[in-house]
């Protein structure tokens, strides 16, 4: 009888673990994708000059601030490479988390929506400032597999 109880406990524990893993995978799939801004978040950019962009990213309620920052960095790297540059400097950076309250008859929920803005200056690599700049190809190689799978 004790062996059956232990077996039943183990099955319940494993079932609970399986449910937790499925839930975690589902939530990860709901994070903001690396794409142009849409109803579920994403990035936008505005060209400020021949070597400057302002990039914004917005996440949904399943996206954390770290992923939003990674989206900004990947877009900065992508724009840098697309425009024939090799490095970029961050001239200005802002981040915030908007909170929205939703209430039902029995509960109140707070949902968090992260966002951020980067202003970058792109460099060819031979300028004096390039020594302190991000290497666009390295950032792209590091972040693209994480954000586009």
Tell me the per-residue pLDDT of 135-149, one tens digit each, with 9 for 90 and over.
Answer: 999 999 999 999 987
Residues 6 or more apart in contact with residue 129 via CB below 8 angstroms: 89, 121, 123
pTM: 0.77
* CA–CA gap between residue 14 and residue 25 (Å, rounded): 16
Question: Are 90 and 118 a contacting pair, CB within 8 Å?
Answer: yes
Intra-chain end-to-end CA distance of the chain, in Å: 48
Local confidence band at 13 (pLDDT 50, 70, 90 cut-offs)? low
* CA–CA gap between residue 109 and residue 82 (Å, rounded): 42
For residue range 70-112, what is the model confidence (pLDDT) as tens digits? Answer: 999 999 999 999 999 999 999 999 999 999 888 888 888 898 9
């Amino acid at each position: 009888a004790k062996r059956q109880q232990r077996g039943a406990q183990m099955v319940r524990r494993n079932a609970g673990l399986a449910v937790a893993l499925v839930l975690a995978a589902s939530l990860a799939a709901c994070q903001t994708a690396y794409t142009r801004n849409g109803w579920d978040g994403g990035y936008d950019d505005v060209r400020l000059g021949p070597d400057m962009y302002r990039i914004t990213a917005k996440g949904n309620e399943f996206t954390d601030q770290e992923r939003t920052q990674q989206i900004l960095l990947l877009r900065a790297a992508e724009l840098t490479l697309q425009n024939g540059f090799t490095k970029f400097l961050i001239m200005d950076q802002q981040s915030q988390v908007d909170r929205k309250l939703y209430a039902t008859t029995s509960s109140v929920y707070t949902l968090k929506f992260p966002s951020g803005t980067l202003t970058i200056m792109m460099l060819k690599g031979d300028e004096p400032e390039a020594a302190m700049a991000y290497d666009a190809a390295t950032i792209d190689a590091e972040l693209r597999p994480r954000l586009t799978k």
